[in-house]
Amino acid sequence: MRERTDGRGFATRAIHAGERPDPVTRAHKPPIYATSTFAFDTAAEKEDSVDRALAWEPGVHFYSRTSNPTNRALEEKVASIEGAEDAVVSSSGMAAVSATLLAHLGGGDHVVVGDELFVITQVLLGDDFPRRGIDVTAVDMTDLEAVEAAITPATKVLFYETSTNPRLRVPDQDALAAIGHRHGLIVIADNTFLGPALVRPLEHGADMVLHAATKYLSGHGDAVSGVVSGAKALLDPIRKQTDTLGQAASPFSSWLVMRGIRTLPLRSRTASANALELAEYLERQPNVEWVRYPGLPSHPDHETARRLIDGPGGAMLTFQPRGGVDGMAAFTDHLRLCDIGVSLGDIHTLVYPQPKRGGLVRVSVGCEDVDDLLEDFALGLSFVA
Protein backbone atom coordinates (compact mmCIF):
# COMPACT_ATOMS: atom_id res chain seq x y z
CA MET A 1 0.00 0.00 0.00
CA ARG A 2 1.43 3.35 -0.98
CA GLU A 3 2.39 5.93 1.60
CA ARG A 4 -0.31 8.53 2.29
CA THR A 5 -0.57 11.91 3.95
CA ASP A 6 -3.42 13.91 5.51
CA GLY A 7 -1.83 17.16 4.35
CA ARG A 8 -1.17 20.20 6.50
CA GLY A 9 -3.97 22.67 5.74
CA PHE A 10 -7.21 22.67 7.73
CA ALA A 11 -9.46 21.97 4.72
CA THR A 12 -7.18 19.15 3.52
CA ARG A 13 -7.19 17.50 6.94
CA ALA A 14 -10.96 17.92 7.22
CA ILE A 15 -11.23 15.83 4.08
CA HIS A 16 -8.45 13.28 4.54
CA ALA A 17 -7.72 12.77 8.24
CA GLY A 18 -8.98 9.49 9.68
CA GLU A 19 -9.82 8.12 6.25
CA ARG A 20 -8.08 5.57 4.06
CA PRO A 21 -9.38 3.23 1.36
CA ASP A 22 -10.81 0.10 2.97
CA PRO A 23 -7.97 -2.47 3.07
CA VAL A 24 -10.30 -5.38 2.19
CA THR A 25 -12.54 -3.99 -0.55
CA ARG A 26 -10.54 -0.88 -1.57
CA ALA A 27 -13.71 1.18 -1.10
CA HIS A 28 -12.67 4.82 -1.19
CA LYS A 29 -14.84 5.94 1.75
CA PRO A 30 -14.63 4.35 5.21
CA PRO A 31 -17.34 1.73 5.71
CA ILE A 32 -19.99 1.75 8.42
CA TYR A 33 -19.02 -1.09 10.74
CA ALA A 34 -22.52 -2.13 11.76
CA THR A 35 -21.50 -4.74 14.29
CA SER A 36 -21.91 -5.12 18.02
CA THR A 37 -19.04 -7.54 18.54
CA PHE A 38 -15.75 -8.60 16.94
CA ALA A 39 -14.45 -12.14 16.34
CA PHE A 40 -11.09 -13.64 17.37
CA ASP A 41 -9.15 -16.70 16.27
CA THR A 42 -8.06 -17.75 19.74
CA ALA A 43 -8.99 -17.24 23.38
CA ALA A 44 -5.60 -15.62 23.96
CA GLU A 45 -6.19 -13.12 21.15
CA LYS A 46 -9.56 -12.22 22.60
CA GLU A 47 -8.12 -11.69 26.07
CA ASP A 48 -5.29 -9.56 24.75
CA SER A 49 -7.66 -7.40 22.71
CA VAL A 50 -10.04 -6.85 25.63
CA ASP A 51 -7.18 -5.89 27.94
CA ARG A 52 -5.70 -3.45 25.43
CA ALA A 53 -9.06 -1.91 24.55
CA LEU A 54 -9.91 -1.37 28.22
CA ALA A 55 -6.53 0.28 28.66
CA TRP A 56 -7.88 2.68 26.00
CA GLU A 57 -5.40 1.74 23.29
CA PRO A 58 -6.64 3.37 20.07
CA GLY A 59 -7.77 1.07 17.26
CA VAL A 60 -8.29 -2.06 19.36
CA HIS A 61 -11.86 -3.36 19.17
CA PHE A 62 -13.80 -6.12 20.91
CA TYR A 63 -17.28 -4.61 21.45
CA SER A 64 -18.75 -1.55 19.77
CA ARG A 65 -19.91 0.11 22.97
CA THR A 66 -16.23 0.46 23.87
CA SER A 67 -14.69 0.99 20.43
CA ASN A 68 -15.72 0.71 16.81
CA PRO A 69 -13.63 1.33 13.63
CA THR A 70 -16.07 3.88 12.17
CA ASN A 71 -16.18 5.80 15.43
CA ARG A 72 -12.39 5.65 15.63
CA ALA A 73 -12.04 7.09 12.13
CA LEU A 74 -14.17 10.07 13.20
CA GLU A 75 -12.10 10.50 16.36
CA GLU A 76 -8.90 10.66 14.31
CA LYS A 77 -10.43 13.22 11.95
CA VAL A 78 -11.65 15.47 14.77
CA ALA A 79 -8.36 15.22 16.66
CA SER A 80 -6.54 16.28 13.51
CA ILE A 81 -8.64 19.36 12.79
CA GLU A 82 -8.63 20.41 16.45
CA GLY A 83 -4.87 19.98 16.77
CA ALA A 84 -5.41 17.49 19.59
CA GLU A 85 -3.64 14.31 20.64
CA ASP A 86 -6.88 12.33 20.72
CA ALA A 87 -10.68 12.57 20.64
CA VAL A 88 -13.62 10.63 22.04
CA VAL A 89 -16.97 10.43 20.24
CA SER A 90 -20.25 9.75 22.01
CA SER A 91 -23.95 9.47 21.37
CA SER A 92 -24.81 13.18 21.65
CA GLY A 93 -23.48 16.56 22.59
CA MET A 94 -24.87 16.15 26.11
CA ALA A 95 -23.16 12.76 26.37
CA ALA A 96 -19.88 14.52 25.62
CA VAL A 97 -20.60 17.28 28.16
CA SER A 98 -21.71 14.96 30.95
CA ALA A 99 -18.98 12.34 30.43
CA THR A 100 -16.30 15.05 30.28
CA LEU A 101 -17.39 16.81 33.46
CA LEU A 102 -18.21 13.67 35.44
CA ALA A 103 -14.86 12.12 34.53
CA HIS A 104 -13.02 15.03 36.13
CA LEU A 105 -15.33 16.07 38.98
CA GLY A 106 -16.48 14.23 42.08
CA GLY A 107 -18.09 14.84 45.45
CA GLY A 108 -16.61 17.87 47.18
CA ASP A 109 -15.27 19.39 43.95
CA HIS A 110 -16.27 22.76 42.53
CA VAL A 111 -16.65 23.92 38.93
CA VAL A 112 -16.89 27.47 37.58
CA VAL A 113 -19.13 27.70 34.51
CA GLY A 114 -20.53 30.35 32.21
CA ASP A 115 -23.79 31.99 33.24
CA GLU A 116 -25.35 31.41 29.81
CA LEU A 117 -25.14 27.76 28.76
CA PHE A 118 -27.18 25.32 26.69
CA VAL A 119 -30.39 24.65 28.62
CA ILE A 120 -29.78 20.90 29.16
CA THR A 121 -26.24 21.64 30.35
CA GLN A 122 -27.90 23.95 32.89
CA VAL A 123 -30.18 21.08 33.97
CA LEU A 124 -27.16 18.79 34.41
CA LEU A 125 -25.34 21.40 36.50
CA GLY A 126 -28.37 22.58 38.43
CA ASP A 127 -30.17 19.30 39.15
CA ASP A 128 -27.69 16.43 38.85
CA PHE A 129 -24.47 17.93 40.17
CA PRO A 130 -25.85 18.97 43.59
CA ARG A 131 -27.04 15.37 44.14
CA ARG A 132 -23.48 14.23 43.47
CA GLY A 133 -21.99 16.74 45.88
CA ILE A 134 -20.43 18.86 43.12
CA ASP A 135 -20.69 22.61 43.69
CA VAL A 136 -21.31 24.90 40.72
CA THR A 137 -20.77 28.64 40.38
CA ALA A 138 -22.05 30.39 37.25
CA VAL A 139 -20.43 33.67 36.21
CA ASP A 140 -20.28 35.94 33.20
CA MET A 141 -17.23 34.60 31.37
CA THR A 142 -16.61 37.98 29.75
CA ASP A 143 -16.05 39.44 33.26
CA LEU A 144 -12.56 38.19 34.03
CA GLU A 145 -12.56 39.64 37.54
CA ALA A 146 -15.75 37.71 38.32
CA VAL A 147 -14.22 34.52 36.96
CA GLU A 148 -11.15 34.94 39.15
CA ALA A 149 -13.27 35.72 42.20
CA ALA A 150 -15.42 32.60 41.73
CA ILE A 151 -12.47 30.20 41.96
CA THR A 152 -12.02 28.46 45.33
CA PRO A 153 -9.53 25.90 46.67
CA ALA A 154 -12.06 23.20 45.73
CA THR A 155 -12.36 24.33 42.11
CA LYS A 156 -11.15 21.72 39.62
CA VAL A 157 -12.66 22.79 36.27
CA LEU A 158 -13.37 26.00 34.35
CA PHE A 159 -16.07 25.39 31.72
CA TYR A 160 -17.23 27.94 29.14
CA GLU A 161 -18.95 28.22 25.76
CA THR A 162 -17.00 30.02 23.04
CA SER A 163 -20.17 31.83 21.93
CA THR A 164 -23.16 31.80 24.26
CA ASN A 165 -26.77 30.94 23.62
CA PRO A 166 -28.66 33.11 22.75
CA ARG A 167 -26.84 36.38 23.51
CA LEU A 168 -23.75 35.32 21.53
CA ARG A 169 -21.28 36.69 24.09
CA VAL A 170 -17.69 35.85 23.09
CA PRO A 171 -15.32 35.47 26.05
CA ASP A 172 -11.58 36.02 25.83
CA GLN A 173 -10.39 32.43 25.57
CA ASP A 174 -6.71 33.24 26.02
CA ALA A 175 -7.41 35.14 29.24
CA LEU A 176 -9.70 32.40 30.59
CA ALA A 177 -7.03 29.76 29.95
CA ALA A 178 -4.43 31.90 31.72
CA ILE A 179 -6.70 32.33 34.76
CA GLY A 180 -7.60 28.65 34.86
CA HIS A 181 -4.04 27.40 34.57
CA ARG A 182 -2.79 29.88 37.16
CA HIS A 183 -5.11 28.12 39.60
CA GLY A 184 -4.29 24.61 38.35
CA LEU A 185 -7.71 24.05 36.74
CA ILE A 186 -8.72 21.97 33.75
CA VAL A 187 -10.03 24.45 31.16
CA ILE A 188 -12.82 23.07 28.97
CA ALA A 189 -14.43 24.89 26.04
CA ASP A 190 -17.75 24.01 24.42
CA ASN A 191 -17.27 25.19 20.84
CA THR A 192 -20.61 24.02 19.44
CA PHE A 193 -21.78 27.50 18.35
CA LEU A 194 -18.71 28.28 16.24
CA GLY A 195 -16.93 25.07 15.25
CA PRO A 196 -13.25 24.37 14.54
CA ALA A 197 -13.20 26.00 11.11
CA LEU A 198 -13.73 29.35 12.86
CA VAL A 199 -11.90 28.97 16.16
CA ARG A 200 -9.88 26.18 17.80
CA PRO A 201 -9.86 26.63 21.58
CA LEU A 202 -6.85 24.35 22.11
CA GLU A 203 -4.81 26.95 20.23
CA HIS A 204 -5.98 29.51 22.81
CA GLY A 205 -4.97 27.51 25.86
CA ALA A 206 -7.97 25.28 26.57
CA ASP A 207 -7.13 21.77 27.76
CA MET A 208 -10.14 20.17 26.08
CA VAL A 209 -12.75 21.24 23.54
CA LEU A 210 -16.10 19.58 22.99
CA HIS A 211 -18.93 19.84 20.48
CA ALA A 212 -22.44 18.72 19.89
CA ALA A 213 -21.28 17.19 16.61
CA THR A 214 -24.97 17.18 15.70
CA LYS A 215 -24.50 20.82 14.75
CA TYR A 216 -21.70 22.28 12.59
CA LEU A 217 -19.52 19.17 12.40
CA SER A 218 -22.35 17.16 10.89
CA GLY A 219 -23.92 20.19 9.23
CA HIS A 220 -26.85 18.44 7.59
CA GLY A 221 -29.34 17.99 10.41
CA ASP A 222 -29.38 14.21 10.06
CA ALA A 223 -27.18 12.89 12.88
CA VAL A 224 -26.96 13.18 16.67
CA SER A 225 -23.42 12.95 18.02
CA GLY A 226 -20.91 14.45 20.44
CA VAL A 227 -17.12 14.64 20.61
CA VAL A 228 -14.42 15.89 22.96
CA SER A 229 -10.75 16.43 22.04
CA GLY A 230 -7.56 17.03 23.98
CA ALA A 231 -4.63 15.23 25.55
CA LYS A 232 -5.04 11.45 25.78
CA ALA A 233 -4.34 11.46 29.53
CA LEU A 234 -7.36 13.73 30.03
CA LEU A 235 -9.52 11.83 27.55
CA ASP A 236 -8.95 8.28 28.83
CA PRO A 237 -11.16 8.86 31.92
CA ILE A 238 -13.81 10.33 29.61
CA ARG A 239 -13.60 7.31 27.34
CA LYS A 240 -14.12 5.10 30.38
CA GLN A 241 -17.06 7.23 31.55
CA THR A 242 -18.61 7.10 28.08
CA ASP A 243 -18.28 3.31 28.14
CA THR A 244 -19.59 2.73 31.66
CA LEU A 245 -22.57 5.05 31.20
CA GLY A 246 -23.44 3.45 27.86
CA GLN A 247 -23.02 6.64 25.83
CA ALA A 248 -21.43 4.99 22.79
CA ALA A 249 -21.74 6.71 19.44
CA SER A 250 -23.67 5.07 16.63
CA PRO A 251 -21.32 4.05 13.79
CA PHE A 252 -23.88 5.32 11.29
CA SER A 253 -23.99 8.72 13.00
CA SER A 254 -20.18 8.83 13.04
CA TRP A 255 -20.13 8.09 9.32
CA LEU A 256 -22.57 10.95 8.72
CA VAL A 257 -20.51 13.35 10.84
CA MET A 258 -17.34 12.35 8.95
CA ARG A 259 -19.11 13.13 5.71
CA GLY A 260 -20.16 16.50 7.10
CA ILE A 261 -16.70 17.49 8.30
CA ARG A 262 -15.31 17.14 4.77
CA THR A 263 -17.25 20.29 3.81
CA LEU A 264 -17.01 22.09 7.17
CA PRO A 265 -14.66 24.87 5.94
CA LEU A 266 -16.85 25.55 2.91
CA ARG A 267 -20.08 25.58 4.91
CA SER A 268 -18.62 27.72 7.70
CA ARG A 269 -17.34 30.31 5.26
CA THR A 270 -20.61 30.58 3.32
CA ALA A 271 -22.90 30.58 6.37
CA SER A 272 -20.76 33.20 8.15
CA ALA A 273 -20.81 35.51 5.14
CA ASN A 274 -24.60 35.09 4.91
CA ALA A 275 -24.98 35.81 8.64
CA LEU A 276 -23.04 39.05 8.40
CA GLU A 277 -25.14 40.28 5.50
CA LEU A 278 -28.37 39.36 7.29
CA ALA A 279 -27.20 41.02 10.51
CA GLU A 280 -26.32 44.23 8.69
CA TYR A 281 -29.71 44.15 6.93
CA LEU A 282 -31.60 43.62 10.20
CA GLU A 283 -29.71 46.43 11.91
CA ARG A 284 -31.04 48.85 9.28
CA GLN A 285 -34.70 47.88 9.73
CA PRO A 286 -36.93 50.27 11.73
CA ASN A 287 -39.12 47.40 13.02
CA VAL A 288 -36.14 45.58 14.59
CA GLU A 289 -35.33 46.63 18.16
CA TRP A 290 -31.77 45.24 18.25
CA VAL A 291 -29.44 42.74 16.59
CA ARG A 292 -26.74 40.69 18.27
CA TYR A 293 -23.98 39.36 15.99
CA PRO A 294 -20.25 39.24 16.89
CA GLY A 295 -19.27 40.61 13.48
CA LEU A 296 -21.15 43.88 14.03
CA PRO A 297 -19.30 46.81 15.64
CA SER A 298 -22.34 47.20 17.91
CA HIS A 299 -21.67 43.82 19.55
CA PRO A 300 -20.12 44.20 23.04
CA ASP A 301 -17.44 41.59 22.27
CA HIS A 302 -16.75 42.68 18.70
CA GLU A 303 -13.03 43.27 19.19
CA THR A 304 -12.57 39.96 21.00
CA ALA A 305 -14.47 38.17 18.24
CA ARG A 306 -12.33 39.83 15.56
CA ARG A 307 -9.20 38.53 17.29
CA LEU A 308 -10.44 34.99 17.93
CA ILE A 309 -12.85 34.08 15.13
CA ASP A 310 -11.74 33.36 11.58
CA GLY A 311 -14.20 35.25 9.40
CA PRO A 312 -16.91 37.79 10.14
CA GLY A 313 -18.25 36.24 13.35
CA GLY A 314 -19.86 32.85 12.83
CA ALA A 315 -23.24 31.80 11.48
CA MET A 316 -25.46 32.49 14.50
CA LEU A 317 -27.33 35.74 15.10
CA THR A 318 -30.07 36.89 17.44
CA PHE A 319 -32.49 39.78 17.05
CA GLN A 320 -35.61 41.28 18.57
CA PRO A 321 -38.46 42.29 16.25
CA ARG A 322 -40.51 45.26 17.40
CA GLY A 323 -43.63 44.31 19.34
CA GLY A 324 -42.19 41.64 21.63
CA VAL A 325 -43.79 38.21 21.40
CA ASP A 326 -46.40 39.39 18.88
CA GLY A 327 -43.70 40.82 16.63
CA MET A 328 -41.67 37.63 16.96
CA ALA A 329 -44.60 35.47 15.88
CA ALA A 330 -45.51 37.84 13.05
CA PHE A 331 -42.00 37.45 11.67
CA THR A 332 -41.42 33.72 12.11
CA ASP A 333 -44.92 32.59 11.15
CA HIS A 334 -44.84 34.25 7.73
CA LEU A 335 -41.47 32.95 6.51
CA ARG A 336 -41.65 30.80 3.38
CA LEU A 337 -38.06 29.63 3.04
CA CYS A 338 -36.62 29.42 6.55
CA ASP A 339 -38.09 26.83 8.90
CA ILE A 340 -38.77 27.13 12.61
CA GLY A 341 -36.54 24.67 14.45
CA VAL A 342 -34.68 24.34 17.74
CA SER A 343 -31.36 23.10 16.39
CA LEU A 344 -28.51 24.87 14.61
CA GLY A 345 -25.48 24.35 12.40
CA ASP A 346 -27.54 23.02 9.50
CA ILE A 347 -27.04 23.96 5.85
CA HIS A 348 -30.70 25.05 6.05
CA THR A 349 -31.39 28.36 7.80
CA LEU A 350 -33.41 27.75 10.98
CA VAL A 351 -35.19 30.36 13.08
CA TYR A 352 -35.86 29.70 16.76
CA PRO A 353 -38.53 31.98 18.29
CA GLN A 354 -38.19 32.35 22.07
CA PRO A 355 -41.32 33.83 23.65
CA LYS A 356 -40.03 33.14 27.18
CA ARG A 357 -37.19 35.58 26.44
CA GLY A 358 -39.52 38.37 25.43
CA GLY A 359 -39.86 37.43 21.77
CA LEU A 360 -36.28 37.33 20.56
CA VAL A 361 -35.45 35.24 17.50
CA ARG A 362 -32.30 33.14 17.25
CA VAL A 363 -31.18 32.43 13.71
CA SER A 364 -28.86 29.64 12.60
CA VAL A 365 -27.89 30.93 9.18
CA GLY A 366 -27.39 28.33 6.48
CA CYS A 367 -25.80 28.13 3.07
CA GLU A 368 -28.65 29.27 0.82
CA ASP A 369 -28.16 32.12 -1.64
CA VAL A 370 -28.15 35.19 0.54
CA ASP A 371 -30.55 37.08 -1.73
CA ASP A 372 -33.17 34.41 -1.08
CA LEU A 373 -32.61 34.72 2.67
CA LEU A 374 -32.90 38.50 2.52
CA GLU A 375 -36.13 38.23 0.54
CA ASP A 376 -37.60 35.81 3.10
CA PHE A 377 -36.57 37.99 6.05
CA ALA A 378 -38.05 41.05 4.33
CA LEU A 379 -41.29 39.14 3.89
CA GLY A 380 -41.40 38.16 7.56
CA LEU A 381 -40.60 41.66 8.74
CA SER A 382 -43.31 43.13 6.54
CA PHE A 383 -45.83 41.63 8.99
CA VAL A 384 -44.15 43.24 12.02
CA ALA A 385 -45.99 46.41 12.99
- Cα–Cα distance between 106 and 110 in angstroms, integer? 9
> What pTM value is reported for the model?
0.95
Strand partners, 138: 113
- Cα–Cα distance between 124 and 147 in angstroms, integer? 21
Name the E strands within 214-258.
226-230
- Cα–Cα distance between 171 and 149 in angstroms, integer? 16
pLDDT of residue 1: 60
Q: Which of 264, 279, 270 is nearest to 367 (CA)?
A: 270
Domain boundaries of the chain, sorted by first residue: 1-90+212-262, 93-210, 266-381
Domains 1-90+212-262 and 266-381 belong to one CATH topology: no
- Cα–Cα distance between 56 and 6 in angstroms, integer? 24
Domain spanning 266-381: which CATH class is it, in words?
alpha beta
- Cα–Cα distance between 336 and 330 in angstroms, integer? 13
Per-residue pLDDT of the chain (385 residues; tens, 9 = 90+): 678 889 999 999 999 999 988 888 888 989 999 999 999 999 999 999 999 999 999 899 999 999 999 999 999 999 999 999 999 999 999 999 999 999 999 999 999 999 999 999 999 999 999 999 999 999 999 999 999 999 999 999 999 999 999 999 999 999 999 999 999 999 999 999 999 999 999 999 999 999 999 999 999 999 999 999 999 999 999 999 999 999 999 999 999 999 999 999 999 999 999 999 999 999 999 999 999 999 999 999 999 999 999 999 999 999 999 999 999 999 999 999 999 999 999 999 999 999 999 999 999 999 999 999 999 999 999 999 9
AA identity, residue 385: A
pLDDT of residue 2: 75
Strand partners, 208: 188, 230
- What is 1-90+212-262's CATH number? 3.40.640.10
pLDDT of residue 26: 87
Q: Which of 290, 344, 370, 347 is nearest to 322 (CA)?
A: 290
pLDDT of residue 355: 97
- What is 93-210's CATH number? 3.40.640.10
